[in-house]
Structure 1
Amino acid sequence: MNAAFVLTAALLIAGLVLSRRVRGPGRAVRWGWWLMAFGAAGLGLAGAFPADSNENLHLLGAVLVFGCGNAGLLVAGCAREGTLPARLRPATAALGLLGLAGSVLFLVQQGMGLGVGGMERVAVFPLPVWACYAGCSLYLSSRLSRA
């Protein structure tokens, strides 16, 4: 699982870098991308340093993915029209809110029927889910524009 987190982080960062040209202009997009990159780095850090081997670095990684990754989705969801995040606004904002809610519930140790570990996943997974959605959206739009 930890190796999967590190690989996912590397792929997220690569996707953010490679999609730079198509993301669109504006401060919200730029800040959102940077925050998501820090969140992705946090995911890699949490995977590279499991809580049982280095709790401090694991906690730093968790804070980055919980805070920066989910905040990045919310900020990107406020992007101006004509940008990639604006085209995906409903999913971007919803996943950011879901991740932040999961983060808060995890931090106050409320599992809401999923258990605290399940709530941790609710806090962590919105960024990779959004990246898959954005990647599929970019792929489909490029296929349609070629047709």
Structure 2
Amino acid sequence: MFTMACVAERLVHHPRGADRRGRGPAARCVARRRMTAVGLVLVVLTSLSTAATGLFPLNVSMVAHSIASLPQFPVQDLGMLLLGVVWWQDNRGAAVLSLLCGLVGLVGLVLFVGATPWGLGLGGMERLALYPETVWSAVVGVFVLWRCRARAGVAH
């Protein structure tokens, strides 16, 4: 997951001229790289939380499962939202996907924490909070593979 995110970051960044604040390409690049690094760290933390959640099933230890899974809920959404903002100028499609998945995840989190089942039950709300990251990972992974093949000149 981390390697995929790093490759995705390298494929979508193309620094341009000065922005609205008058920052030149170098300053913009440093700021964007910093934001990208934070977004990628959040994605990695999501992966670690997901793995830890699987190590401690709910039916074995509710406390350990809750501690392992709790960071995943807000961290994944913040990571996707941050990467969506960073990618906005260079890759609108990836940015829209990231922002949409991050927002859907946040709405699901609010409904899950607020115990507002919306006819889906608590499990449905949990899935609404967590599954956008799975969709995001799959689509970004396909995009990275497609982009790498295109750069290498491999026929589709």
TM-score range, shorter chain: 0.7 to 0.9
TM-score (norm 2): 0.75
Counterpart CA distance in 1 for 2:8 and 2:51 is 25
How far is the alpha carbon of 1:68 from its aligned partner? 0.8
TM-score (norm 1): 0.79
**Residues 1-147 of structure 1 mapped to structure 2, 5 A cutoff:** 15-24=1-10, 26-79=33-86, 81-82=89-90, 87-145=93-151, 146=153, 147=155
Task: Mark the CA change 1:119 to 1:35 in structure 2 (over 3 Å): closer, same or farther.
Answer: same
Q: Is the 8 A contact 1:42 1:60 kept in 2?
A: no
Q: Which amino acid aligns with 1:16?
A: F
Counterpart CA distance in 2 for 1:30 and 1:112 is 36
Which stretches in structure 2 are left out of the alignment for 5+ residues?
Answer: 11-31
How far is the alpha carbon of 1:96 from its aligned partner? 0.5
How far is the alpha carbon of 1:87 from its aligned partner? 5.0
Which stretches in structure 1 are left out of the alignment for 5+ residues?
Answer: 1-14
Counterpart CA distance in 2 for 1:22 and 1:103 is 26
Counterpart CA distance in 2 for 1:93 and 1:19 is 16
Counterpart CA distance in 2 for 1:45 and 1:142 is 31
Q: Is the 8 A contact 1:45 1:57 kept in 2?
A: no
* Percentage of pairs with the same residue: 26
Runs of 4+ with >4 A deviation? none
Aligned residues: 131
Classify the secondary structure of the residue corresponding to 2:104.
Answer: helix
How far is the alpha carbon of 1:111 from its aligned partner? 1.4
Counterpart CA distance in 1 for 2:4 and 2:104 is 26
Counterpart CA distance in 2 for 1:113 and 1:100 is 18
Q: Which has the larger radius of gyration?
A: 2
Aligned-pair RMSD on alpha carbons?
Answer: 1.9
Counterpart CA distance in 1 for 2:75 and 2:5 is 19
Counterpart CA distance in 1 for 2:148 and 2:83 is 21
